[in-house]
Amino acid sequence: MGPLVLDIESTRLTSDDIRRISHPLVGMVILFTRNYENRKQLTELCRDIHAIKPGLLIAVDHEGGRVQRFREGFTQIPAMSKLGECWEKSSEKATLAAMACGYVLAAELRACGVDMSFAPCLDVNFNRSQIIGERAFSSQPNVITQLALALIQGMRLAGMSNCGKHFPGHGWVIADSHLELPVDDRPLEFLSEKDLKPYMWMGQALDSVMAAHVLYSQIDSKPAGFSEYWLKTVLRDKLHFTGVVFSDDLSMKGAVAAGNVTERAQAALQAGCDMLILCNDFAASDTLLQTLTFADSPERADRVKRLLPKGEAPDWETMVQSALYKRSLAYLKEFI
């Protein structure tokens, strides 16, 4: 699978979509709300995308709360902060609810042909960042870790891989990296005590990690997604992470300081990213397909292959009749 994660224009494939997806550099398609009408349409779209090339993955941001691309016809997944609030009253109940969230969101997506969700969010809620906010489980790293592990277990029950984000932590900065480059001026000791703890503790539970478009000014001169220090020295060497590293969207304003789109992509690959997300700029996607230089390695190819969904997913009608699905919905009843 190639390193590029590209989006498509609408609810059905255009000739330009097919041309881009067919390119050897493309290994994944990411979907958005604009690509969704209803479950039948989504299922047909995913079938058409998968038919273009073997091994092609389809992903979506489907965390719950305000970050859930498909709503009508899907179960409303609560914001992860609701699970953190539940933990304060009953850790057992919150853990069961988190596992149920993971299973329901993954099972429903897979029933329609979507392979992966970019979840869970591992950021610490410092009550500062509007872009993170209720997406975070908690302000406590141990609670984040326990609930994220339960969510991941639920996703795995449905055969879906996971993605922890936004490494090494997006919860402190106030600026939105979609609109500007946020600067986090805390020392490494502070991040190690808070933001990095979930990544330290979760170990091999994470199949992939998404790097933040945040500059940690006391630690490195480059944003994390373009930093060999963060991705190789810290994530690979110190934390012994062996999964896939995704860049965040290279079209975001937090990424543009790294140069034009080709320079951004090459810098992210050099820093240690395995997969490069580029969305909402089809001209830039075409440029990157023409100009990106990429040489795969057996190690990277093996990491990416591990993201493939496990087992055959049941269709929607079969899924909703299963005991596991019914039991999971029961755990979520008070959150929905």
Structural domain that includes position 37: 1-60+275-305
Give pLDDT tens digits for 102-134. 999 999 999 999 999 999 999 999 999 888 999
In a domain, 50, yes or no: yes
Q: Give mean pLDDT, residues 290-301.
A: 96
The answer to whether 306 is annotated as binding is no
Most distant CA atoms of the chain, gap in Å: 54
Tell me the percentage of the chain whose pLDDT exceeds 90.
90
pLDDT at 283: 95
In a domain, 34, yes or no: yes
In a domain, 232, yes or no: no
How many angstroms separate the CA atoms of 308 and 328, rounded? 24
Give pLDDT tens digits for 180-197. 889 999 999 999 999 999
- What DSSP assignment string belongs to 185-248? ---HHHHHHTTTHHHHHHGGG-SEEEE-S-EETTT-SS-GGG-HIIIIIIIIIIT---SEEE--
Beta strands in the chain (DSSP E): 4-6, 26-31, 57-60, 62-64, 67-68, 116-117, 164-167, 183-184, 208-211, 215-216, 244-246, 276-278
In a domain, 103, yes or no: no
How many CA atoms are closer than 13 Å to the CA of 188, on its beta-carbon side?
7
pLDDT band at 219; cut points 50, 70, 90: very high
In a domain, 223, yes or no: no
Angle between helices 91-111 and 323-332 (to 10 degrees): 130
The answer to whether 166 is annotated as binding is yes
Query: 318 forms bridges with which residues in the sheet?
Result: none
Domain count, the chain: 1
pLDDT band at 204; cut points 50, 70, 90: confident
pLDDT at 258: 62
What does residue 57 show for φ and ψ, rounded to 5 degrees?
Answer: -105, 150
Placement of tokens 């330009």 in the chain: 16
In a domain, 315, yes or no: no
> Is pLDDT at 254 greater than 80 in this prediction?
no
Give pLDDT tens digits for 224-250. 999 999 999 999 999 999 999 999 999
Nearest-CA neighbor of 117 among 13, 208, 183? Answer: 208
CA-CA-CA-CA torsion sign (286, 254, 209, 44): negative
Mean residue pLDDT across the chain: 95
Which helix (DSSP H) or strand (DSSP E) does residue 284 occupy?
helix 282-291
Amino acid identity of residue 98, one-letter, is A
The answer to whether 34 is annotated as binding is no
Placement of tokens 């100009």 in the chain: 291
The answer to whether 274 is annotated as binding is no
Nearest-CA neighbor of 273 among 216, 312, 224? Answer: 224
8 Å CB contact between 274 and 207: no
In a domain, 41, yes or no: yes
Give pLDDT tens digits for 74-102. 999 999 999 999 999 999 999 999 999 99
User: Which residues does the annotation mark as catalytic?
Assistant: 178, 248
In a domain, 284, yes or no: yes
